[in-house]
Amino acid sequence: MPGPMREGHLFIISGPSGAGKGTLVRELTARVPGLWVSVSATTRTPRAGERDGVDYFFLTASEFEARVHHGEFLEHAEVHGNRYGTLRSAVERRLAQGVDVILEIDPQGARQVRDQMKRSRLIFVKTVTTEELAARIRKRGAETEEQIRTRMVTAEHELTLEGTYDYVVINDDVSRATDELVGMIRSVGEEQPARPDEEG
Per CB under 6 A, the segment of 29-37, 101-109, 155-163, 182-190 that binds ligand 5GP is: 101-109
> In what helix (H) or strand (E) does residue 133 lie, and over which residues does it extend?
helix 130-140
Q: For the chain, how far is it from start to end, CA to CA, in angstroms? A: 27
How far, CA to CA in Å, does 2 sit from each of 96, 119, 172?
Answer: 16, 22, 46
How many Å apart are CA 171 and CA 176, to the nearest integer? Answer: 8
Q: Are 159 and 130 in contact (CB under 8 A)?
A: yes
Residue 6 or 47 with smaller CB distance to ligand 5GP: 47
Among 94, 106, 127, 158, binds ligand 5GP (CB under 6 A): 106
Per CB under 6 A, the segment of 75-83, 88-96, 119-127, 159-167 that binds ligand 5GP is: 75-83
How many Å apart are CA 3 and CA 196, to the nearest integer? Answer: 14
Residue 84 or 165 with smaller CB distance to ligand 5GP: 84
| Count of Cβ atoms closer than 10 Å to residue 97 Cβ | 12
Among 86, 120, 127, 171, binds ligand 5GP (CB under 6 A): 86
> In what helix (H) or strand (E) does residue 122 lie, and over which residues does it extend?
strand 121-126
Per CB under 6 A, the segment of 64-72, 106-114, 123-131, 172-180 that binds ligand 5GP is: 106-114
Per CB under 6 A, the segment of 73-81, 93-101, 126-134, 157-165 that binds ligand 5GP is: 73-81
Under the binding rule (CB under 6 A), the answer on residue 158 touching ligand 5GP is no
Q: In the complex, which residues of this chain contact ligand 5GP (CB under 6 A)?
A: 17, 21, 40, 44, 75, 77, 79, 84-86, 104-106, 108-109
